Amino acid sequence: MKKYLILFVVFFILYGSLAMSAEVKQKNNLKIAFLGDSITWFGWNTPYGYVQKTVKALNDEGFIITPFPEGVGGNVTQEMLNRMDSDILNNKPDIMFFMGGINDIWLENNRVRKYRKNVEKIIDKAQKDNIEVILINLTVISEDIKAPKNKKIAKYNKMLEKIAKEKNVQLIDINTPLWNEINKYDKHGGIVTIPDGVHLNEKGNDILSKKVVSDFLETHKP
């Protein structure tokens, strides 16, 4: 009887260890997609890009990240929605970071209502496939907070806050730390984070990556 009891205990311990290992492996190994426009494209295809920095930082924190960088230059949210199946769902990621909308304003002067529908559909498609969505709000256009396009960005970001609450998704606010940095250093009209009016330089990418990693680690542990 003792022999069987010992065998049962050993089996229970081994089974529990294997189950824990499987759980840890599943938790640590994450496939993460980054859906976006040229900001995301540069975020992966430049050494100082925020996607590169984010993946490295999360790996350093103990995660094992398989990245799917899906940034396409010039994309508006309708185009991102159109390629959800091919670029996102087909890769079966665990998590999708989504940052899009600058081109909706920059290129199309899009209406908030149309933008909202696109974002909601992108989230719905991801959630239907059990993909966790993390929204990143819009950056800045030029470094003049009073510029008409930046006033429009503020409206879009307010709307993103509402969507995040309604869809129960995490929202990372990158707009605020960018403006904080701009206001801190731009004393004489110099460029701080957006040299061409849209794309982030190394400082801007660094701010974005640090904020993304910091907020992600608040809700996810390796």
Contact 212, 172 (CB under 8 A): yes
Q: Which residues contact 71 (CB under 8 A, 6 or more apart)?
A: 34, 35, 36, 37, 38, 39, 40, 41, 42, 43, 44, 51
Phi–psi pair at 196, nearest 5 degrees: -105, 10
Would you give the distance in Å from CA 136 to the centre of its chain? 5
CB atoms within 10 A of CB 117: 14
Residue 203 to residue 143: CA distance in whole angstroms:
14
Of 54, 88, 48, the C-alpha closest to 71 is 88
Q: Which domains does the chain have, with CATH numbers?
A: 28-219 (3.40.50.1110)
3-state DSSP assignment of residue 146: coil
pLDDT of residue 154: 95
Collapse the DSSP code of 210 into the 3-class scheme (helix H, G, I; strand E, B; otherwise coil) and give the result.
Answer: helix
pLDDT at 107: 80
Token pair in block for residue 168: 């129960």
pLDDT tens digit sequence for 71-101:
999 999 999 999 999 999 999 999 999 999 9
Q: What is the pLDDT along the chain (222 residues), one digit of tens a residue?
A: 544 444 443 344 444 443 333 333 346 799 999 999 999 999 999 999 999 999 999 999 999 999 999 999 999 999 999 999 999 999 999 999 999 999 999 886 678 889 999 999 999 999 999 999 999 999 999 888 889 999 999 999 999 999 999 999 999 999 999 999 998 876 555 678 988 888 999 999 999 999 999 999 999 988
Measured CA distances, 142 to 8, 161, 194 (Å): 68, 22, 6
Determine contact, residues 43/69, Cβ cutoff 8 Å. yes
Torsion, Cα of 64, 160, 84, 168 (10° steps): 60
CA distance 38 to 44: 10
Question: Which residue do the tokens 């665990």 mark?
Answer: 94
How far are the Cα atoms of 56, 85, 108, 129, 195 from residue 114, in angstroms, in the given order? 35, 20, 11, 23, 29
